[in-house]
Homo-oligomer: A and B are copies of this chain.
């Protein structure tokens, strides 16, 4: 098959969990990577080495362990900056996950500052967002009296941008959208929408949670002013996410969480704040998690994100082909693999997604069933939940075959075939 990562079997050996067998002796077929990715040994080992040999708090500590820990932590920031081609390492803020990164922006926009959102202002999102890029904006607009608007979706699962000039107007203060949908797989024309948003002076927030694992990311080319992603989906650990922002935008946001090293000076009466990125990193940061994330993006860069992307597209195309052979199966979202990400959600007529997932699980195949934190997108397509198979750089065509066979079996188990 064209486009697959060379040495795929060797790559799989990097991921200890892929050796696991599950109940009934089935080998693990992990097709839930859009939910969270598995971790290569090098990420785990790097974290262990940090905990066993270099653990200390950062920034504050002047001793040798402190210097080692700080150096490892800040080196991770450099690695992430280069992974997303950030013009400056200071523009990389470590958060706990993508959700916190998005909330950081939405939460601080409520407060006094040049970018403050208030009554009469509009925030524009889309109907295919993850809850983490919906609820923060609902909270912001409800709390400030601003208005939340959203792009709808076309029947084939694309953003409906036909009304873009009505949607993004001089009242628009923020446009926030996902780069790649975690449910439909759709890749959105982020740069194009950003262009329009910038014409009216709005800031553009990009949720790259599904993009960063799969696509080469160039934050400047993306058109984003602010961009979020999460460590655990890029073969890194949980407990860490990234908010990248243009310096001038981050500088204009008031502080989010207060305390720890986010200060310049503190008196009881008032405080002044450190510059970016520290201004947004209150308290002890996720140190060993940043170190793990650094190893993770190094691992990805070593494979080459172009190659990871090609692999993802090859596997996704193969999966779409295979799924098309299953009677009663309908894929939600675009059917052309070259225009989508690797998360494929579908319905199987006559079998509820939970039951599909359960039958697959009995064969060692891990998929996700439910609304995938995208209830509005499900509602848009008149479904309450779906089954989602999501591949990653370690996924093999044989695993897709297992999925397709498992779906056939689910149909027969529920007496549909």
Contacts and interface: CB of A to CB of B under 8 A. Distances in A.
A373 B64 contact: no
A135 B271 contact: yes
Nearest to A132: B259
A48 interface: yes
A16 interface: yes
Contact of A282 (B43, B64, B132, B150): B132
A56 B44 contact: no
Interface stretch (A98-106, A194-202, A392-400): A98-106
Interface in A95-143: 96-100, 102-103, 106-107, 111-112, 127, 130-136, 138-139, 142-143
A238 B30 CA distance: 28
Interface in A353-389: 354, 357-358, 360-361, 364-370, 372-373, 375-376, 379
Interface string A249-276: 0000001111111110111101100000
A38 B55 contact: yes
Contact of A131 (B38, B266, B357, B366): B266
A138 B254 CA distance: 13
A282 B134 contact: no
Of A131, A271, A368, A375, most buried by chain B (CB within 10 Å of CB) is A131
Contacts of A132: 258-260, 282-283
Nearest to A28: B65
Contacts of A136: 257-259
Contacts of A131: 258-260, 263, 266, 271
A238 B56 CA distance: 10
A39 interface: yes
B96 A283 contact: yes
A134 B239 CA distance: 25
A343 interface: no
Of A62, A99, A232, A238, most buried by chain B (CB within 10 Å of CB) is A238
Contacts of A66: 32, 366
A354 B138 CA distance: 48
Given A239-B286, A240-B239, A258 B103 contact: yes
Contacts of A230: 283-284
A11 interface: no
A282 B138 CA distance: 14
A383 to B, nearest CB: 15
Contact of A366 (B17, B65, B111, B289): B65
A354 B60 CA distance: 11
Given A32-B63, A135-B266, A135-B282, 11 more contacts: A22-B65, A30-B65, A36-B57, A36-B284, A51-B237, A97-B283, A100-B257, A107-B257, A111-B143, A134-B268, A266-B375
Interface of A: 16-17, 20, 22-23, 28, 30, 32, 35-36, 38-39, 43-44, 47-48, 51-57, 60-66, 96-100, 102-103, 106-107, 111-112, 127, 130-136, 138-139, 142-143, 148, 150, 230, 232, 237-241, 255-263, 265-268, 270-271, 282-289, 354, 357-358, 360-361, 364-370, 372-373, 375-376, 379
12 contacts: A20-B53, A39-B55, A44-B48, A60-B370, A62-B354, A63-B357, A96-B100, A99-B258, A132-B283, A150-B268, A239-B287, A265-B375
